[in-house]
Structure 1
Amino acid sequence: MTLGNRLRERREKLGKTQLEAARGLGISNVQLSRYESDDRKPDPDMLARFAEFYRTTTDYLLGRTDSPVMDTTGSPGIGEYPAFEEFINNPEHGVFFKDYLNAPEERKEEMRRFWEFIMEKEKGRKPGDRQK
């Protein structure tokens, strides 16, 4: 799969039109179209912007890995979030993530990212401390 194909695939996975993605990236839809058709190659800064905007890695976009998932926790990959799985199986927390087990993989990824965000914000907080 080419860089252009991977860019198009990620954009479509996020449910964005070329125009919406181009606006979000701060480029014209003509430029985005050229990237997606492999008529133009992004410079390193643009490649990094694509990866961030499409919530993936430059390695995935460049074809160095077939996993489009960003690994922000240092865990081995999808499905290996034991702390998250334990958290959602707790009846007090599970209600919040009740749709996780039946959700499509893209939605699961969003839920894991949200959980990671919450855990990062709560790091070092002791019971009784004010939330940040």
Structure 2
Amino acid sequence: MGKVKHLNPVLSSSNKKTIDPQKRKVRSDKLHDIKIPVDEPMDMILRRESRRYWNGSKTAFGTEILLFGLEQMLVYPDVTYTDQPYTVHCKVDHETYQKIGNYAADWKCSVRKAAHRIFIEAYKKRQLGGVTDGEI
């Protein structure tokens, strides 16, 4: 009898060497995405203000508020964290993500909860709703 021919050569075992897949390099400028839950009135204000100042990018506006909170504020009172149907995405670099992670470790919570706490306090301090052009 001789060699057995398989109908599907992929399924046949062969002595061919398999090539090990190479690990992909992670980009140095990769951004971390943090989803922060917000309530409906806050979402409406963020949408309105983002259209006015950021050409419709709620993510860029939310990131700006989070960075404002990290840079300009030192005290973040405890806020209740509840999951909401509306979220704001904040895209931060690795260094900022580490800084939020340090707060999360101090407060014994997740990075998302720490970012929520910082975001809510920064949102209150920015007093959105009646903002002039020079403030943003």
TM-score by length of 1: 0.27
Higher relative contact order (CA 8 A, sep 6+): 2
Higher helix share: 1
When Rg is computed on C-alpha atoms for both structures, the one with the higher figure is 2
Structure whose residues are more often strand by fraction: 2
TM-score (norm 2): 0.26
